[in-house]
Amino acid sequence: MNSLKILSAQVENKPGTLFKMTNLARLLHFNIEGVAIGTTSRQDISRVIFTLNATDRANMELLVKQTSKLIDVLDVSVYSPSDVIARELALIEVKASDAILDRLRGIPECRVVGSAGKTVILEAACDFGKVDEVLEKIGRSEVLSLARTGVIALPKRSS
């Protein structure tokens, strides 16, 4: 069983909402592996997305039930990675070298977005779970600095 789950909630933009949600996850012993939050088409509503390692189905159901009871939460759903269109973004700083630039040619998800001195900053915009594969192709020992978003996702809709 794949234990990664994506919890997606639409919430009112109010102070403390994210804290309440993360605190619930903490109380139920979930490790939040990624968080992404941003406004929706309405500026007063945000989508909060947690990537969770959820091996306990009962606890996951309890997290959804308790999260939906929070006053600022409008809607909450849980998805498996196969149920969503998901993306993740990483900015990766590496030493500029011919070897690194040669490796980049074989990584279509990766492009150079900046350079300074003897380093380049790469952008990797990838499907769910692919940032780690990009890092392996570059070579983790080559990475000087890394910043990555949490997974952003929308459910697949049936016609």
Same domain, residue pair 74 and 92: no
- The predicted pLDDT at position 159 comes to 58
Same domain, residue pair 74 and 91: no
Dihedral sign from CA coordinates of 136, 130, 125, 47: negative
Domain that includes residue 94, residue range = 86-155
Same domain, residue pair 51 and 109: no
C-alpha–C-alpha distance, residues 9 and 69, integer Å: 12
Q: Is the pLDDT of residue 1 over 60?
A: no
Q: What is the pLDDT of residues 9-50, one digit of tens each?
A: 999 999 999 999 999 999 999 999 999 999 999 999 999 999
Same domain, residue pair 59 and 115: no
Same domain, residue pair 72 and 103: no
Supply the mean pLDDT for the chain. 91
C-alpha–C-alpha distance, residues 68 and 75, integer Å: 7
End-of-domain residue from the set 46, 79, 112: 79
Same domain, residue pair 92 and 54: no
* pLDDT mean over 1-5: 74
**Of 151, 143, 127, residue with least CA distance to 50:** 151
Q: What is the pLDDT of residues 83-102, one digit of tens each?
A: 999 999 999 999 988 888 88
End-of-domain residue from the set 79, 109, 144: 79
Cα 52 to chain centroid distance, Å, stands at 10
* 8 A C-beta contact, residue 94 and residue 120: yes
CATH number of the structural domain spanning residue 46: 3.30.70.260
- The predicted pLDDT at position 2 comes to 62
